[in-house]
Amino acid sequence: MDPDDEKESPKPNFIQKPQIKAISDWVKSGGTLVLMGNDFGNCEFDHFNDLATTFGIQFNKDSVNHVDGNNFEMGKINIDANSPIFKNVRKVYLKEISTFSLESPAQSIQEWNGNKVMAVAKFGKGTVFAVGDPWFYNEYTDGRKLPGEFENFRAAKDLAVWLLDRTNLK
């Protein structure tokens, strides 16, 4: 989810306590949730964090990894070799991302330039994955915009496999 703000939608539907309870109960009973925020100015954080902090994740009201024009290298994130999710990926493109502050049960699974940029939380029987950018856009996964060394499409596949492995589907 990438929550809209008043700038993006004339009447955004902010998440409220009943929805937060329903979602957290669902995750606790085995659901898998993906939280994709955005950078400050392009995401509504106050209500979004009401949900995220349930899992120990707080999206910071910031924006890092700025990119000038098509200088794509400025948006690189080198993926840790021991990543529990991105086993086939070493370099992705994420620009203008929110960083995290984390508390238990959340854990950072990817840091960049001293910032936590991806996190996972085990919550009851379920799992939450969070990233500070909705980075699976067509333009960043379809091979038309990014240079070939960026592996966003492969990262999307790795994430999908990891998420599916956490489901309770038989």
| pLDDT at residue number 12 | 76
Q: How many CB atoms lie within 10 A of CB 113?
A: 9
Distance between CA 22 and CA 101 in Å, rounded?
Answer: 24
Quick one: pLDDT at residue 126? 96
Q: Quick one: pLDDT at residue 1?
A: 45
What the chain holds in terms of domains, given with CATH numbers, is: 17-165 (3.40.50.880)
Task: Kindly report the pTM of this predicted structure.
Answer: 0.91
Give the per-residue pLDDT at 13: 80
E strands along the chain, which residues? 32-36, 57-59, 76-78, 91-93, 100-102, 106-112, 115-123, 126-131
Yes or no: say if 129 and 36 are a contact pair by the CB < 8 Å rule: no
The pLDDT of residue 136: 72
| Per-residue pLDDT at 34 | 95
pLDDT of residue 5: 61
Give the pLDDT means over successive 10-residue stretches in the chain (170 positions).
Answer: 62 89 97 90 88 97 93 95 94 94 97 96 96 81 88 94 81
pLDDT of residue 92: 95
Q: List the structure tokens of 78.
A: 């080198």
Residue with tokens 């995750």, as numbered in its chain: 27
